[in-house]
Amino acid sequence: MYRNVSKTKKTGATIIPILLSSDKTQVTMFRNKSAYPIYMTIGNLPKEIRRQPSRNAQILVSYLPTTKLEHITNKAAQCRCLANLFHACVRHIVEPLIVPGKDGMSIASGDGVLRRGHPLLACYIGDYPEQLLVTGMKTGECPKCDIPSTELGSKDLPFEMHPTQFTKACRDAGKVF
């Protein structure tokens, strides 16, 4: 929901785009339990720095649990529960960004001066399975547009982006954090 910013709000702040990324490469640890990592970086860094692991521009924020939920026999319910688990975990990870994102927070800039910044979740970087999980789409559907699954990868097809109502309905239904 967008709201008008009144003239009593402070000016001169910086947006700090927060980028989360994951890949379901499983990390075996914790007595034969599995998890996959979530990393965070900020979009204000040049991509040449962000992409180099030796520059330590990304930090490990969390390990997401992996489970097959084999005790749930209904396949659709199992998929929904896995998606809900993922979204609950990501919601827990990004929850500390809500208040500083709205109100701002003091951050020391490169010259040592304290400035006000607003950390906002800008994107979630992942491969196709993670894109589907984040957007609440079924396998075989495009998370961005309305191309049928049988036509994915075809060149020069006319397509429409998913309408705003679709995105809002997914968010309101709790499918997108």
pLDDT per residue over 65-108, tens digit each?
Answer: 878 888 998 988 888 888 888 899 999 999 999 999 999 999 98
Residue 170's pLDDT is 52
Range 130-149 burial, b when 16+ CB lie within 10 A, else e: bebbbbbbeeebbeeeebee
* Domain locations in the chain as residue ranges: 14-135, 136-177
Q: What confidence category does residue 130 fall into, taking pLDDT thresholds of 50, 70 and 90? A: confident
Query: How far apart are the C-alpha atoms of 19 and 123, rounded to whole Å?
Result: 5
Residue type, 41: T
Residue 90's pLDDT is 92
Residue 7's pLDDT is 47
